[in-house]
Amino acid sequence: MNWKLTGWEGINLSVPEDWELSSVDGNREKGTFSLDDGYSIRVEVEWEYPKSTFSMENLIEKYMKELIKKGKNIKCNIVKIKTNFFADKSGAILHWKNHEEGYSSVSYCKKCGRVLFLRVYFPDKRRSKEIFTRILNSLSEHPEQGRETWAIYKLVFSAPENLKRISSSLKAGDITFTFQETQGKGEISLSQIALGNILLKKQPLSAWTKERMGGKIIEEKQEERDNHSYFYFRYKKKTLSLAWEKGVSWYCPISRRIFLVTGNTDPSLLKIYCHQEK
């Protein structure tokens, strides 16, 4: 079984390669995402910052009751699994089963005060404990050296932790993220477009970029580096705007995707792994 990284809103975990993002909701403060394997849901992650009155015992009890209510004849227990995940955390691991099986962890991070739920489902009950343990051991929720990793639909990049996602569009083959600095006015967008090899048969990267940017480009430069062609440009976001923003697009011949980074801040704030593993 091959494994890959998934990263969303500062939460990273390794999952089997064919488990892919299927839904997202919320933001950094409170949110959820789920992954499925093309047939059924396999992972759900949920996070929030609880009120100061919260008690872990009550939370676990409430959570167990909810799990039991979700299906027929569910048996649910607290189980012990050897893991380093609970360093600096309080919480528990729950195991439930009927004709299916699942593991959940409920944890409270003493460092940042966040409550995190991880649920992993096993419709066929195979290697369930082993797979759950590997996912749990890989789960991290803090930036590394001030950066956070995002990883979905083969798009893997890292961003400084002070960049907050303000929007994302997750269309098949065309993904866009927009981030804003938490302090200041910096804004940066990143797009990944699939099938670049086909798109660039019709026109060169510069023409593709100009079309995508809606003809707002006012300065340009092309460069070849490590077999990748880059197109650097400046543009005006609005016709009447006085400020010029910066952009770069490139084609990765290995992943055959086009990447486009634009904004009023340094495009290199985002580190994009266009073909290499993180």
User: Applying CB under 5 A, which residues contact Zn ion?
Assistant: 109, 111-112, 252, 274-275
* Nearer CB in complex with Zn ion: 6/192: 192
Nearer to Zn ion, 64 or 155 (CB): 155
- Would you call 2 helix, strand, or coil by DSSP? coil
Helix, strand or coil, per DSSP, at residue 81: coil
Q: Report H helices in 109-248.
A: 128-138, 196-202, 205-212
Nearer to Zn ion, 121 or 259 (CB): 259
Report, in Å, the least distance between residue 233 CB and Zn ion: 19
Give the integer Cα–Cα distance in Å for 237 and 216: 7
Rg of the chain on CA atoms, in Å: 22
Map residue 28 onto helix, strand or coil. coil
**Nearer residue to Zn ion within complex by CB, 154 or 275:** 275
Quote the least distance from Cβ 135 to Zn ion, whole Å. 18
CA–CA gap between residue 113 and residue 180 (Å, rounded): 24
In angstroms, the CA 76 to CA 98 distance is 9
CB of 152 to Zn ion, least distance (A): 17
Pick from 117, 127, 98, 97: nearest CA to 43: 117
Closest approach of Zn ion to the CB of residue 169, in Å = 22
Measured from the CB atom, the residue of 161 and 187 that comes closer to Zn ion is: 161
As measured in angstroms, the least distance from the Cβ of 228 to Zn ion is 6
